[in-house]
A and B are shown apart, each in its own frame.
Chain A
Amino acid sequence: MATDTTIQERMNIVIVGHVDHGKSTLLGRLYADTGTLPEGKIEKIQAICRQQGKEFEYAFLFDAFLEEQQQGITIDTARTFFTWGDRQYIIIDAPGHKEFLKNMVSGAARAEAALLIIDALEGVRDQSKRHGLLLSMLGVKQVTVVVNKMDLVDYREDIFQAIEKEYREFLTQLNVVPQYIIPASAKQGINITKISPETPWYTGPSVLDSLAHFHSETAESEQALRFPLQDVYKFDARRILVGRLTAGKLKIGDRLVFSPTNKSANVQSIEAFNVDPPPTQAMAGQSVGITLDEQIFVERGHIATHEETRPLVSTRIRANLFWLGSQPLETQRTYTLRLATREVLCEIVAIHRIVDANNLDDRQTQATVQRNEVADITLRTKSPLAFDLYASFETTGRFVLVDNYDVAGGGIITELVADEQEDFRAEARERDSAWVKGDVGAEERSRHYGHRAAVVLLTGPDTTAKSFLARKLETVLVAEGRHAYLLVGENLQRGLDADLHEIKAEETVRRFGEVVRLLTDTGSLVITTTNAFPQATKGIVQTVQTLVNPIQVVTVHMTKDQDGPQPDRDLIFAGPEDFDACTNKILETLKQKGILAEPTGSQPSVQFSI
């Protein structure tokens, strides 16, 4: 093989299609006919075949497991390497058996382009279509179709054309335009590495030549910046924010805003080891580290962008999802959603329909999504999620669901579904963008007070002694030397809300939330209850969370009915009960959440990593 040319780029290609349509054979033939196999490889496999008394097949070259060779099927994807021209290809051989769809998906998710194989004798089958559908969902937009086993139909043009027509129509519905549709026989080596006389009616390239027509995907750096934060390091004096740019570029001096917190700061440096001179900018695809000119609160999962091109934020999204879990996907159950580096709990609100790969028009409604099905769903996250629509940004427009330790499904986001916090979120975003800061930062206040700013919000029905517990908590915290303040909602009505002549629940809650926000900006621990808002308790927790974001809100619910259903809170107490014990539990929770350090008196010694 001609390998004197230096490699210039690399590309991942996946081979997919229905079981037994000849994927592994095509791969074996491609390697054998280009002289890419290691010396003695064919002889070694031939010897094993003789031993087992069966005919040699090219497929055996990459089906590594004994079981795969015995059953004549591929169980799991294999990565093989292949250099042609100035490109290094990683060719991923994916299994076609329905049972191993999760392995096919794992292989195809890494690919930039696909070869989709269809058996000329059998025609378009279940997995031919399902794989086509999944490729479009996985973001593999470049597809070349190989109609294989043409030797079994005497290289007839009419049979090829019928398959071409049927499959092209199917792909059109998925908005996929195949680059080429190639008649071939992997077993006989027809049209694999060169065009053969058996198909004089075919004028396109061979399979090998078609690979060069796939283009390497580098367009993301032309998009707006997406920098999902992976971690924050403090190995030495530097506080380095690390992550991989999934789109766009950034440079020293850029103003970055982090979503969903709306915190912002400027890029001070781009850090790198063994790079001289140090970089001044970074592009999509790069794993980088940056420092900021200001110590703002950022953590894994936040997405950094430029100010004018922020991602969307909501707790509700609509998505197309493929499910690979061993248990069916159900509504009313909690799953972990992972989008870029963000991890958040979520619940499926609605399963709108199941997408049938064999009949894209006929979609059916079902209560659950079974393994290997594709569904159109709406889900709700427990806290606000920053994301993009898949049509605009690939990496921040898709997510996985985790069930029982494993990645069990993948989705692409089709729509933002407005939630009830939409207006408050917009208000907080605009307020934070324009917020004028003093010279004392949040970290300095934390060091001084020995704790971070936070909110403790007590909820529950009347006569559960919420305000009694709130008073006690304030007393204990202040006695410990903390900067705590009990905000009594009723006090606002007489002053701040005196201009509201009729009761406007939403406006009083908004004002309440803004006052809490202001107090947390002083570095305080704000303790408060929902007592002043008997008619608005349902949305008040969310509204306070939205308006004080990203300050933590510790929610405590006092219930009269301990056996009944409880709201989603950090702590639930039967009220009234042992207030000393309740206070201690709240203090414990504040410590667990990293809000309180151990009692420090007037000389705090703890460094807060904010």
Chain B
Amino acid sequence: MKHIRQLEDQSIYILREAYKNFDNLGMLWSMGKDSTVLLWLARKAFFGHVPFPLLHVDTSYKIPEMIEYRDRLAREWRLNLIVGQNKKALAEGMNHEKGRIACCTALKTEGLKQLLDEKGYTGVILGVRSDEDATRAKERYFSPRDKNNDWDFRDQPPELWDQYKISFPPGTHIRIHPLLDWTEINIWEYIKLENIPFLDHLYLDQGTGSRYRSLGCAPCTSPIQSTSKNVDEVLIELRNSKVAERAGRAQDEGRGMEELRKDGYM
């Protein structure tokens, strides 16, 4: 498990750099396996404390168990949880039937933008990983976003050794990605190694022959066929799988992710 400890050391270093260098810092938590591992790493980096707020952009279409789990961990781990929501778009009846990209843009990208604007965060920590998607494979650990939240992927600043981008002009902010080098398998290896509480009812087969591999909004995320009933079985399944992790996520189809991420999607 040496490689997992190496990943852990690197991620903790990044989290501590973020905490030291950003006065107004927040961490996105979607309750999925990745951002929950990120939250666990923060508890390790800060010796049981989480010294910045956790941000959840609630589209209102999340699977109910996710909200329950969120509120339970927030209580048990004494988290400062901040929930944001694009209420205007919801009031106007936004849902996935109006177009998946349109729905994601309004409820997630725009919801996130509203939350960031309202609180004025200059650093936002996210659990995205390189192996999830080809555009995420091109991210920096510390990645600048301009005043409109846009990602200028054509002209990213250099990132050398362990020296990250920690200075930036007013009005812009930095997205921080401590999990960039982790793979889906590494996430499960770490959950097992550290015994991290996760949404086992959703991520493991409960006898129906299916489980979620990636969690998002209920209407746009479908379970995969799988009989994995524990983490060991999930690991064996993944080592032999050739299906992409986000195959069950509708918004990724075509050039969806490049378009979404350029405009500030996570």
Spell out A's residues near B (CB within 8 Å). 3-4, 7-10, 35, 37-41, 62, 64-67, 75-81, 88, 90, 102-103, 105-106, 109, 230-231, 233, 235-236, 238, 240, 242, 244, 271-274, 285-287, 289, 300, 324, 338, 340, 395, 398, 400, 402, 405-408, 410
Q: List 14 A-B contacts (CB under 8 A).
A: A64-B134, A65-B135, A65-B138, A65-B258, A79-B130, A79-B138, A80-B137, A244-B9, A244-B13, A271-B47, A272-B44, A273-B43, A273-B47, A405-B157
Q: Which of B6, B163, B168 contacts A338 (CB 8 A)?
A: B163
Asked if B160 is at the interface of the complex by the 8 Å CB criterion, the answer is yes
Q: Given A38-B244, A66-B255, A235-B46 in contact, is the A10-B9 Cβ separation under 8 Å?
A: no
> B140 to nearest A CB, angstroms?
7
> B253 to nearest A CB, angstroms?
10
Q: Given A7-B3, A231-B20, A273-B47 in contact, is the A39-B242 Cβ separation under 8 Å?
A: yes
Give bound CA distance, A337 to B37, whole Å.
Answer: 33
Q: Which residues of A contact B47 (CB under 8 A)?
A: 233, 235-236, 238, 240, 271-273, 289
Q: Is the CB of A76 within 8 A of B183?
A: no
Q: Which residues of B contact A398 (CB under 8 A)?
A: 161
Q: Which residues of A contact B168 (CB under 8 A)?
A: 405
Q: Given A231-B19, A242-B16, A300-B20 in contact, is the A400-B138 Cβ separation under 8 Å?
A: no
Q: Which residues of A contact B208 (CB under 8 A)?
A: none
Q: Is the CB of B44 within 8 A of A405?
A: no
Q: Is the CB of B6 within 8 A of A230?
A: no
> Given contacts A109-B161, A405-B167, A407-B160, could you give 19 more A-B pairs where the C-beta distance is less than 8 Å?
A4-B236, A10-B6, A38-B243, A41-B244, A65-B153, A66-B255, A75-B154, A78-B130, A90-B181, A231-B16, A231-B20, A233-B47, A236-B47, A242-B16, A244-B13, A287-B8, A400-B161, A402-B167, A407-B157
Q: Which residue of B lies closest to A75 (CB)?
A: B154
Asked if B159 is at the interface of the complex by the 8 Å CB criterion, the answer is yes
Q: Which of B19, B43, B183 contacts A88 (CB 8 A)?
A: B183
Q: Is the CB of B140 within 8 A of A405?
A: no
Q: Is the CB of A8 within 8 A of B2?
A: yes
Asked if B97 is at the interface of the complex by the 8 Å CB criterion, the answer is no
Those 9 A-B pairs whose CB atoms lie nearest each other, nearest first = A64-B134, A10-B3, A287-B12, A3-B239, A79-B130, A102-B158, A38-B244, A78-B137, A406-B157
A interface: dominant SS: mixed
> B260 to nearest A CB, angstroms?
13
Q: Is the CB of B159 within 8 A of A235?
A: no
Give bound CA distance, A398 to B168, whole Å.
Answer: 23
> A15 to nearest B CB, angstroms?
14
- Tell me which of A67, A106, A272, A395 has the highest count of chain B C-beta atoms within 10 A of its own C-beta: A106
Q: Is the CB of B159 within 8 A of A106?
A: yes
Q: Which of B9, B138, B160, B236 contacts A64 (CB 8 A)?
A: B138
Q: Which residues of B contact A244 (CB under 8 A)?
A: 9, 13, 162
Asked if B45 is at the interface of the complex by the 8 Å CB criterion, the answer is yes
> A277 to nearest B CB, angstroms?
16
Q: Digit string of B41-58 for contact with A (CB within 8 Å is 1, else 0)?
A: 001111111010000000
Q: Which residues of B contact A7 (CB under 8 A)?
A: 3, 185, 189
Q: Given A62-B134, A64-B138 in contact, is the A287-B16 Cβ separation under 8 Å?
A: yes
